[in-house]
Structure 1
């Protein structure tokens, strides 16, 4: 890869990570504010709470996706030539969308939650004016356009390089008996994300456009149940794809550290192909409480939510154990975060699978059990991978060395994140509702424990972020890394 292109990619990735790290800390602060309010430690108005809830949910998923995109782009550039302008185009569109969303929430009091469920935006526009609702919806739409531009470009590059997305998913090895190993793990994972997330974003865009038209022309109406399907298909797929992008770092870095290549054998390829299909199907477990949904869709939601935990998660977690076993690998911040993130991913899937059981879902889905599972795999899975990659990036592209404070920060982060998610799951067990600004006295104890844990998580995250920004000063002083040498 030409030096100029490599430098542009490095610059783009560093900007992505700077934005990601700062916004992550800010979203964590918003999360603690909500817990403090629910725990009656502080008092904010209900409207302020729901505004904070809206930006916390929207912002956390959006910024996790931005960090995952940096990981995907950085490692994929090892295998195919990429145009850095596309990376910057996605960033610019995303930032414009984020500004629109922030203005909508804090400038025009939009507080309908990340789900923007029809017809809530229409009701909001009547209450607080058209501007806030339209800014929020158009902001999300612009974010989606940015990612579609990136995904369609990546799809075109993979098709040119491998002869089709089927081939970059390893179909030659699965169905046509081709011998050897399939495309690199980064290529397989990228292909899966392109297919799944493009479908999800298009589903969400459909609901957004219909809602915008409904606000501008109230005589235009559409099926609320269809709108909910489109919205949750988008939300569930988009959230899942954050970890499928970030996990590329686990494959690449653990392989590099141990000196053992993570080979795309047939089992690995089959697992990722199944996950591509299942990720598109299992959003229906969010609709198990909707009696109007056809029974066959609810069955799919339950059965395939069970099955989805097996293909990639088990293969990746088991593979991480095997590649590290007796490898004499030197542990540092990056390898520790990536290895521990496997625990977060697996642990987060367990309460999710429990919640996907219909009889449990009817009781637990609208409780804090759901954010309990979500924060486990997001905070100790996806975000841990992003923090690990931040260190790895500075180490490979600069001269950053591990310090004693890093070990304490890792310990603090995972111990207190376990406490936070445990408080959520316990709150779900005692039927504390999610998305409520006020809690009954018997629920506030778990909120207070969660807020205390959140404070320590923020401290750890600030240490991670500060160390990252300090390390950026030396980026470029290292010799060009093999991560940017194109592999044939």
Structure 2
């Protein structure tokens, strides 16, 4: 019996699933808006349009970085859960536990920052957390790390449940990835792309989260037992393996929305293929070994790792990116697709991912990295593919679920172009400033850098306005949607 027969492609949410889904969506939207406001605060402070004390600026920077990365991960996990549950039997209680642990972790992070005064950035790099020059206490640093640990445990539970559910249906993770078809044989066209992507994410980010858990426990021990010294280079490697994997997994979870939803709106099949399977299999390996490109300025690193990071930087993002964007464009071309909010957001996500990866690859070149890595070029590239790539994937699912089946409303016509325009102004202000060597993580800027800061602040304000429009539409739509709404019937 095929998987499709075992678990019909029915997206209808049960009452309990609807409750958990609504909690995720409402929390994600609330935290996104809050984190965006913190980001705007920083840009206003750097542009001298708002007076912010220096210690407060770095607290805001710490909360914004940690909160935004965690929330984009939580949002993308909703995408993975929503579509994967059609093909395998996931445990709703574990998905709910992931939510509870995330909320507890987020509260710990915010308390550490805004009550305890922790301002050591999301990286918590040793030995900074315990050598704060009395700006914050060791307890504040420990609370921050505990918050991360709680969030990581929640995600690990979710991934383990996903892998166990996949194994129960497909026998093993290799078959779920489609490895049996890499070198020949007739591919089962009904094999879901969502299962392939979810399997890859569950494997790789489980490793990343475990690396994060190890380094967090090491740092927590060091805080309260300073005699237990740590190897700073090892700590940094584990930290960036964790951080790099987490943010990449967010992209790969989000892209499941493209595979599952785009055919609904284009009215065309989007079947699996051998290049698709090869791209995900190769990315599984490369995404785990590319993180040394974050450490090219650490000359104590083994030389072969820096070479590997350089080479894989050019290769890691291309397989999945290429087959996804090419597949999306060919699926839409001359399809006569009716442009609704979900389909518009999905195509925006392809642009954001494609354009955002270019400055990332440029920065991955050692000769460029030596000059550009500690400039605003870096927040420029990751804001590009997060705000205009991953977040639109998540928003597309949210609009899909509330049933965007009616003609576009005035708020749609306002919100979408405002989001795109504000997002482009915001990210290009970062990239242009980075090109002029404006440093990142500086609260005070020189006069010649202020025009970029001011343009970025204007872009951020426009972006937040559009996000508020989206949030209101989605939340009202969730309240109005029937308890067993089934967006599977949507064809655009």
> What TM bracket, shorter-length normalisation?
over 0.9
Give unmatched runs, 5+ long, in structure 1. none
The whole-number CA distance in structure 2 between the counterparts of 1:177 and 1:290 is 46
1:32 to 21, 30, 40: 40
Where 1:41 maps in the other structure, the secondary structure is coil
Give 1:326 shift: 1.2
The whole-number CA distance in structure 1 between the counterparts of 2:283 and 2:414 is 35
What are the within-5 Å matches in structure 2 for residues 68-87 of structure 1?
Answer: 68-87=76-95
Give 1:207 shift: 1.1
The whole-number CA distance in structure 1 between the counterparts of 2:275 and 2:489 is 26
Q: TM-score, normalised by structure 1?
A: 0.95
* Conserved 8 A contact 1:173-1:182: no
* Conserved 8 A contact 2:205-2:245: yes
Partner of 2:409: 403
Q: Label 1:4 to 1:72 Cα distance change in 2 as closer, same or farther (>3 A).
A: closer
The whole-number CA distance in structure 1 between the counterparts of 2:489 and 2:185 is 31
Q: Label 1:51 to 1:319 Cα distance change in 2 as closer, same or farther (>3 A).
A: same
What are the within-5 Å matches in structure 2 for residues 472-487 of structure 1?
Answer: 472-476=478-482, 480-482=486-488
2:323 to 302, 311, 315: 315
What are the within-5 Å matches in structure 2 for residues 294-443 of structure 1?
Answer: 294-395=302-403, 402-443=408-449
Partner of 2:470: 464
Q: Does 1:48 align with 2:56?
A: yes
* Conserved 8 A contact 2:40-2:461: yes
Give 1:276 shift: 1.1
* Conserved 8 A contact 2:178-2:196: yes
Partner of 2:452: 446
The whole-number CA distance in structure 2 between the counterparts of 1:395 and 1:482 is 10
* Conserved 8 A contact 2:12-2:488: no
Larger deviation, residues 210-219 vs 172-181:
172-181
Q: What does the per-residue CA deviation read over 1:390-418, in whole Å, with 9 as the maximum and x for residues that have no partner?
A: 1111117xx77641221221111111211
1:246 to 237, 254, 258: 254
Q: Label 1:391 to 1:4 Cα distance change in 2 as closer, same or farther (>3 A).
A: closer
The whole-number CA distance in structure 1 between the counterparts of 2:21 and 2:400 is 12
Where 2:337 maps in the other structure, the secondary structure is coil
Partner of 1:290: 298
Give 1:483 shift: 7.7
Partner of 1:187: 195
The whole-number CA distance in structure 2 between the counterparts of 1:400 and 1:458 is 25
Give 1:321 shift: 0.3
The whole-number CA distance in structure 2 between the counterparts of 1:114 and 1:433 is 17
Q: Label 1:200 to 1:75 Cα distance change in 2 as closer, same or farther (>3 A).
A: same
Q: How many residues align?
A: 482
Q: Label 1:211 to 1:400 Cα distance change in 2 as closer, same or farther (>3 A).
A: farther
Partner of 1:214: 222
* Conserved 8 A contact 2:403-2:487: no
Q: Label 1:37 to 1:299 Cα distance change in 2 as closer, same or farther (>3 A).
A: same
Give 1:121 shift: 1.2
* Conserved 8 A contact 1:20-1:66: yes
Q: Does 1:22 align with 2:53?
A: no
Where 2:185 maps in the other structure, the secondary structure is coil
Where 1:366 maps in the other structure, the secondary structure is coil
* Conserved 8 A contact 1:200-1:235: yes
Give unmatched runs, 5+ long, in structure 2. 1-6
1:455 to 445, 461, 469: 461
* Conserved 8 A contact 2:263-2:331: yes
The whole-number CA distance in structure 1 between the counterparts of 2:212 and 2:191 is 30
2:20 to 12, 18, 41: 12
